[in-house]
Amino acid sequence: MSQPRLTTNDWGKALQAARPPEGTGPSTAEVLRGLREHRPPVPVLAAWVLGLLFPLALVAIAVLVVVREATADGNLANRVVIGALLVGVLLGVAGLSLRGLNRAVHVGDHDAARFPARLMTVVCVPVALFLVFWVEGRGHDWESSMVWPFALLALAWAPRPFSAQPAARRWTADALLRRGPEVRSGLEADLFMDARVCARCGNALPGQARRLEPVSGPVGEGWVVQTPCPTCAAPLLYAFRRRDDGVPAPDDPLAIGAPGSTGRGMGGGDWSHLATVHAVPADLDVATADTATLRSWLARGAVSVQATGELLALVRPGGRAVPLSRRAGRPAPFSSDVAEFSRAGLKSRLTERRARLVAVRDELARRGESVPAVLPG
């Protein structure tokens, strides 16, 4: 039976309509490590196991394509090109499917796991219409190979009854709280979101779009921010677990400097960004600046000093710079060891930033404003 021609543009449209998982990770090794630490409920595990059948089936089909093209007659160059394209599409979809499954079991993102079902639905609708036209309109015979797309469709939808169970829906909040950073206030959550950017467009979520929704689960309570990116409409999801360690939540940014108040869930890339954007400017004239401006820089400068200290703490004993493995979070250039992540540079910047912060604090005190006696850093 002759086949309808599908271009790479057609595949791209189908993938876009199916909303594939964006960004990266988690890796299968990370998922397996998480399963050992905290086992999901049975419906989530059942959906994950059933979901694995779809990417495995695509890999098996890719192997069959390689064998068929290797043993077929005809022009070798054409066989190589056609085989490479088909195998690339199959393995690419399998990889995206596995990423969605891993997110479902690791962070409770069941929507990402439904990518194969959406994709096969988008693909099978025109395929079904074509087959009806081919058989009923043109009078061709039915063939067993015509069933394959619909078998994959059934396989893609097989996990759905399990992921729709109440236990699976509760797992979303549980997994988010377990994986998310620990914070003690909306302020600390704001700092985290200041540092993180959308994987698609590279912009941080603006303040007016940050609506903290309370959630609770077996591991505790916290907040979730789930919204489309205002710039590119990509889905954004942040989760924060309420930290209950007896340390009071800060009423203002200066309390961020309290020992042990932050540092969980943030990486070197996050701290570097916060330390830079909130640093008191070197050209700020504290003697002529108005009081409101000084108050703003007192708060932001405290965050910068604390973030610089957290970044310096990531340097291993005896190390010269923050290692690449500890620069998680906001992307940072690999070639910025000396300029941004070296021990000597961080110590120097910490001293400079704290000196500017002290100058702001002292000027406010001279004007009779209420200021803290102890500053972070």
pLDDT of residue 349: 94
Residues 6+ apart with CB under 8 A from 168: 41, 43, 44, 47, 110, 162
Please state the domain extents for the chain: 8-167, 175-242, 253-366
Helix (H) or strand (E) holding 180: none
Cα Dmax for the chain: 93
91 residue type, one letter: L
Q: Is 12 exposed, middle or buried (0-12, 13-18, 19+ CB in 10 A)?
A: exposed
8 Å CB contact between 299 and 254: yes
* Segments of the chain scoring below 70 in pLDDT: 1-15, 22-25, 179, 184-185, 244-265, 332-339, 374, 376-377
pTM: 0.57
Query: How many CB atoms neighbour CB 41 within 10 A?
Result: 15
Beta bridge partners of 238: 225
How do 220-228 and 235-242 pair as beta strands? antiparallel
Q: Which of 145, 38, 51, 161 is nearest to 98 (CA)?
A: 51
Give which of 146, 93, 145, 86 is closest to 117, Cα–Cα.
93
- Token readout for 274 is 């916060």
- Say what the pLDDT of residue 162 is: 92
At 258-271, the pLDDT tens digits run: 444 444 567 788 88
Task: Note the pLDDT of residue 9.
Answer: 55
Q: Can you tell me the distance from the alpha carbon of 81 to that of 312, in angstroms, rounded to the nearest whole number? A: 51
- So what's the pLDDT on residue 221? 81
pLDDT tens-digit profile of 168-202? 877 877 777 776 777 766 777 777 888 878 877 88
Tokens of 277: 């954007």
